[in-house]
Amino acid sequence: MTRNAFLVAAMAVPIAVVGSAAYVSYAAAGKVYYVAPSGSDAAAGTQAAPWASFAHAQAAAQAGDTVYFRGGTYSYTRASSGCSSGTARVDAITLNKSGAAGNPIRYWAYPDERPVFDFSKMTDNCRIKGIDVTGSYLHLQGLEITGVRQNNNLNHESWGIWVSGSNNTFERINAHHNMGPGLFIQDGGGNLVLNSDSHDNYDSMTSNGAGESADGFGAHISANHPGNVFRGCRAWNNSDDGFDLINAFSSVLIENSWAWHNGYIPGTNTSAGNGNGFKAGGYGGDYVGNGAKHTVRTSVAFGNKAAGFYANHHTVANDYFNNTSYNNHPDYNMLGVNAAGAAVGLGNLRNNIAYGGTLTSNMSGANATTNSWNLSVTLSDGQFQSVSTSGWVAPRQADGSLPVLRNFRLAAGSALIDKGVNVGLPYSGTAPDLGAFEASTSPTASASTASASPASSEPPASASAASTPPASSGARGCTATYQLTGSWSGGFQGAVAVANSGPGLVSDWTVRLTLPAGQTVTQAWNAGFTQSGTLLTVTNSTWNGTLGLGGTATFGFLADGDGSRPPAAITCSAA
């Protein structure tokens, strides 16, 4: 990956920040603290007497607690330590205290308010991390990160958010106008970046060329750190790549995400860095024997300076399923490298659309079938409801999921409907459609949740039927249905839908799953859990226990072990 550059005068795009009073009830399980730009660290940390600093709030917070940041600007002028050299790394904010499995420490925007962390006044003469997350089991939600600077040209970039901890959730983050990547996972596993935006990042002060290192999102993790996921994210107007997985030695999943107009100085069409929408791997052009397999699916790339989807000399065939690429250069570039160091086509491509620009390159050797360029289909604008490149920065939905657009959704009667093959994703009709959007189903949120609940980290239902056991019988009014939603070497991700089966109101529910031997749950969301041997017991959170007749709630979890083996039994009890 080449990294970055920043132009203070580049245009910012306003992003709607949404909230819900339901956050308060969700947070009530632990202590609740408050921070405000006008607060004082000598105060009580209450809503009426908030603290002033992130550091003071972290010192007080314990697993299960919630810290609300009131709207306004939190301006930083210096790092927490001095620069030992011009190439050193320093933090403005360090999050090094961990929560616990099922009880994260939550650092959330106060409902319907916009806390902005502005680092543009920092003068430290070295590399700056706006927020350095070394802790685990943390949940950051609704925070805006901007202005992280690099004040010399001895380095490649600084970073908006740097992550080396595990099992963290970054939700509704808006990172923009930083002199480096907006959010960068350096290490750690099981991190979820959900419904977040990273845009207009540009580094003009860099040792490897202006604009060469400011990606929207990056994951460059070492081996044995699986489970990092980007879901429902947008990356645009970044001077380098939208998403960059170079030097990632553990598998990463990118899904339901969009990348456009990357590779230019923000606010212009002036060339800057690499400019790929989704750069899915690579190790500097060299062959490595322990490369990781990544998955990019149900995502959209358009108008990027370089490729929409790029293998970047990767050494393993990644999976590219149900993506849409429009007017990129090219739309899909599967340039890989084999053990002899020779260039080869590498990638498993299914159900993808390439339209406009150069469609493909370096496909010789790639495993590509049931894509738009493999089929006897003539593409035209009429195959889609719209091919507009406008509207993609529209405000997110109330739960934080991507806006519902007509753009690149298949038109009624499109020749791309039912032309795909089953890759384990949900579909309607006789076969999956091509592209990122299934035509015969209504658009769904990337993390669905009941309207009365807070925006959650719950995964979408995307398991194959073979991995889904039958729904449990709910003797006291509820049923529970399990789905495998993601897997990797040594771990997996699951989701369970709980439904009120009658006859009356459900006030609380408990789900018990008998897991196969060797499966250990490490993290859950939207519920509390305990595990004793193979028995996993899950109880509702404070905000999703009440279910009317036919009502549903969903929780998810990450686990170590072989996810291909579903639970032997599931029961649901209600009160």
Residue 399 has phi, psi (to 5 degrees) of -90, 5
Per DSSP, what are the bridge partners of residue 483?
495
Residue 59 has phi, psi (to 5 degrees) of -60, -30
Q: Is 279 a catalytic residue?
A: yes
DSSP string, 79-127: -SS--SSTT-EEEEEEE----BTTB-EEEEEPTT--EEEE-TT---SSE
Spell out the residues 6+ positions from residue 452 whose beta carbon is closer than 8 angstroms to its own: 22, 543
Taking the CB of residue 426, how many other CB atoms lie within 10 A of it? Answer: 14
Give dist(CA 370, CA 322) in Å, integer: 10
Which H or E run includes 335?
Answer: strand 335-337
Q: Would you state the structure tokens that stand for residue 312, as one six-digit string?
A: 């970047």
Spell out the residues 6+ positions from residue 128 whose beta carbon is closer than 8 angstroms to its own: 79, 89, 90, 91, 92, 119, 122, 148, 149, 150, 151, 158, 159
The catalytically annotated residue of 97, 121, 129, 279 is 279
Spell out the residues 6+ positions from residue 320 whose beta carbon is closer than 8 angstroms to its own: 280, 295, 296, 297, 309, 332, 347, 348, 349, 350, 352
Q: Would you state the structure tokens that stand for residue 518, as one six-digit string?
A: 């060797």
Give dist(CA 250, CA 291) in Å, integer: 8
Give dist(CA 495, CA 458) in Å, integer: 7
Give dist(CA 402, CA 291) in Å, integer: 31
- Residue 181: which of 135, 220, 229 has the closest Cα? 220
Rg, C-alpha atoms of the chain: 23
User: Do 171 and 195 form a contact (C-beta atoms < 8 A)?
Assistant: yes
User: Do 269 and 303 form a contact (C-beta atoms < 8 A)?
Assistant: no
Give dist(CA 148, CA 203) in Å, integer: 10
- DSSP classification of residue 38: T
Per DSSP, what are the bridge partners of residue 297?
255, 321
Spell out the residues 6+ positions from residue 182 whose beta carbon is closer than 8 angstroms to its own: 145, 160, 161, 173, 175, 176, 198, 199, 201, 215, 216, 217, 235, 238
- Residue 158: which of 123, 189, 116 has the closest Cα? 123
Give dist(CA 327, CA 451) in Å, integer: 37
Residue positions annotated with a catalytic role:
279
